[in-house]
Structure 1
């Protein structure tokens, strides 16, 4: 088989890891209305806050951002401060514990995340433009299943 279609199940499974390694957010830089590399980095933090606000409504702290990103708290603190300086996040007192500071998206942060979603979809549609529709939809379904399984594995491992 070709380089893009390994011949055996073993070869296919061995090729998955390197393929994931080749996935780049840079494809989002090449489409109409591209996002800056700086804003793409900011979305790592903003996405975590948005998920919490839309999901289980847990409060997000700088420490939670550090844990989620698997980074040092000082790095997460700088990332959060950058998002605040850019106007995408704001700090607020926790409603559960007034001694803690939690993070919330600003309207500008929500708009950046909406723009990211539009750019991600445009990039997906551009990259898969020559795929049959059923393959595009199946790949999208399997990617969502993979991410859900990854999240479930992370929760199992943490618990």
Structure 2
């Protein structure tokens, strides 16, 4: 048992939430081609748009960004505007309702997300470098299973 491992199952389950909170902050590990803190924040918005484009093709608006991030629409609007100013997002008219404005990744936004994915993979490999391959793959599978279950709850 490591010095940080909880002693009981209850302590282990209580430690999960704080551990997830630390994950986002630890993404800034010094790996090759690190992501700036500003761009790391932008990836929150870019990821929502990217997932919609790669998934069911639903249109993403500023309101949808606010809902996904559980923030006030004015906060989401500032985040989206910042990503547009950085050249990562573009606004377009909805094909379903011309009165709505939707968001798309620009080519620069796609490049940023590809670089971010490489950064995430490098960080995972660095953190788990001394783990067994089985432990690394088990964590990856369980993390994906957890995220899928969380998304299923969101869509109920």
**Shared fold (TM-score greater than 0.5)?**
yes
Structure-1 separation of matches of 2:41 and 2:96: 29
TM-score normalised over the length of structure 1: 0.93
- Give the Å deviation of 1:2: 4.0
SS of residue paired to 1:92: strand
Matched, 1:145 2:145: yes
Gaps of 5+ in 2: none
Structure-2 separation of matches of 1:135 and 1:18: 21
- Following superposition, which runs of at least 4 residues in structure 1 exceed 2 angstroms of deviation? 1-8, 24-29
Segment of structure 1 superposing worse, 142-151 or 28-37: 28-37
Structure-2 separation of matches of 1:29 and 1:2: 22
In structure 2, relative to structure 1, the CA distance for the partners of 1:44 and 1:27 (3 Å cut) is closer
Aligned to 1:53: 53
Equivalent pair of 2:29/2:123 in contact (CA under 8 Å): no
Segment of structure 1 superposing worse, 9-18 or 131-140: 9-18
Structure-2 separation of matches of 1:99 and 1:45: 22
- Give the Å deviation of 1:61: 0.5
How do 1:32-43 and structure 2 match up within 5 A?
A: 32-43=32-43
Aligned to 2:17: 17
Aligned to 1:100: 100
Equivalent pair of 1:28/1:119 in contact (CA under 8 Å): no
TM-score normalised over the length of structure 2: 0.94
Matched residue pairs, number? 156
Give the RMSD, CA atoms, in angstroms.
1.3
Gaps of 5+ in 1: none
